[in-house]
Amino acid sequence: MIWAAIVVAGVGCYLLKLAGLSVPARLLERPIIERSADLLPVALLAALIAVQVFARGTAVVIDARLLGLVAAVVALALRAPFIVVVLVAAATAAVARLV
Amino acid sequence: MAGGSRQIVRDGILVGVATGAYGVSFGAIAVAAGLKVAQACALSLLVFTGASQFALVGVVGAGGSALAGAATALLLGSRNALYGLRLAPLLGWHGWRRLPAAHLVIDESTAMSMTRDNRSDARAGFISTGISVFLLWNLATLVGSLAGEALGDPRAYGLDAAVGGAFLALLWPRLRDPRNRVVAVLGAAVALGTVPLAPAGFPVLAAAVVALVAGAVSRRDDPTELPERGDPSGGGAS
């Protein structure tokens, strides 16, 4: 099933890119479509963060992952690069689980 | 090659190296979420758009269905269609040349070619960035997934928390815009509210409704829609 998802996402994401390069601009260049497409990544990424940090199965829980997220916020506020933010989040949660 | 083009190509390769560094974390996180090394590498080769790949892995890793993972990846990938719209007149490729070029339409190649004022510079930025990101992103995915596999239990290293950190780093530049902050908070709230009610994967899709509604009711254009680093103005008219 994961392979099916990979193929569907791969073909679909390619066709989306190709559509942008190929279709006449007036078909997609409408204010509502543009704004929604610009806002989609924001809503989806925020939802992914929430689920990734607070969900365990169908329960909402608070655990070491939240400390990892707080550490990531601090790293981002200090303008750390992507890889550092990821490592800081992981290390903070790992250390929190040890103590 | 003119001096200006050489500088553009050099910048493109630098962006490729920087992006490759986070391909390592993608590979490690994908394996931590339960994917095989070959599946992580196939995602980077075929999907080749970072946020969609992270999303698919995040949804599947949380126990969501493969279908929900693919749907989330496609929704996130829809912004590449808008990038393509803006790039098409700038790059001016027709016929078969669009087929390979389309695969390289991502955040980084768009940002590195949108700002050029002539076609040859735009093409130089697009090709150098697109190809170097593609090569290094795929190489880094292989390295990261092999390393992740060698580590063992991902939770002991906090790799489950690393995913949240990765998503936050992707979202962060857009949070300068107040409207985006409202959409982000609402999206997170809708997703968490849906967690107890629906199988994994669907809470994230439910949050997409927030973006569609906000897109329909708000009027202003988003000033942070393109990932341009070092732009201090955030919301000003430019």
DSSP state of A60: E
Q: Is residue A3 part of a domain?
A: no
Q: Is residue A17 part of a domain?
A: no
Instruction: Give the distance from CA B101 to its chain's centroid.
Output: 17
Q: Which of A 31-90 lie inside 8 A of B, CB atoms?
A: 32-55, 57-60, 64-65, 67-69, 71-73, 75-76, 81-83, 85-90
Task: Please report the pLDDT score of residue B3 as a whole number.
Answer: 65
Q: Is residue A64 part of a domain?
A: yes
| Mean pLDDT of the A16-28 span | 84
**Tally of domains in chain A:** 1
Residue from the list B56, B160, B188 with its beta carbon closest to the beta carbon of A49? B188
Q: What is the pTM of this model?
A: 0.76
Radius of gyration of chain A (CA): 19
Please answer yes or no on whether B77 and A38 come within 8 Å at the CB atom: no
Other CB atoms closer than 10 Å to residue B214's CB: what's the count?
Answer: 22
Q: Is residue A5 part of a domain?
A: no
Each residue's pLDDT tens digit, B71-103: 999 998 988 888 898 899 889 998 899 999 999
Q: Is residue A6 part of a domain?
A: no
Q: Is residue A15 part of a domain?
A: no
Q: Is residue A68 part of a domain?
A: yes
d(CA B191, CA B208): 9
With contacts defined as CB-CB under 8 Å, which chain B residues touch A5?
Answer: 56, 60, 66-67, 69-70, 73
Task: Say if A27 is an interface residue toward chain B (CB within 8 Å).
Answer: no
CB A2 within 8 A of CB B59: no
Each residue's pLDDT tens digit, A32-65: 877 887 888 899 889 989 998 998 878 999 999 9
With contacts defined as CB-CB under 8 Å, which chain A residues touch B66?
Answer: 1-2, 4-5
Task: Look up the ipTM and state it.
Answer: 0.87
Please answer yes or no on whether B58 and A52 come within 8 Å at the CB atom: yes
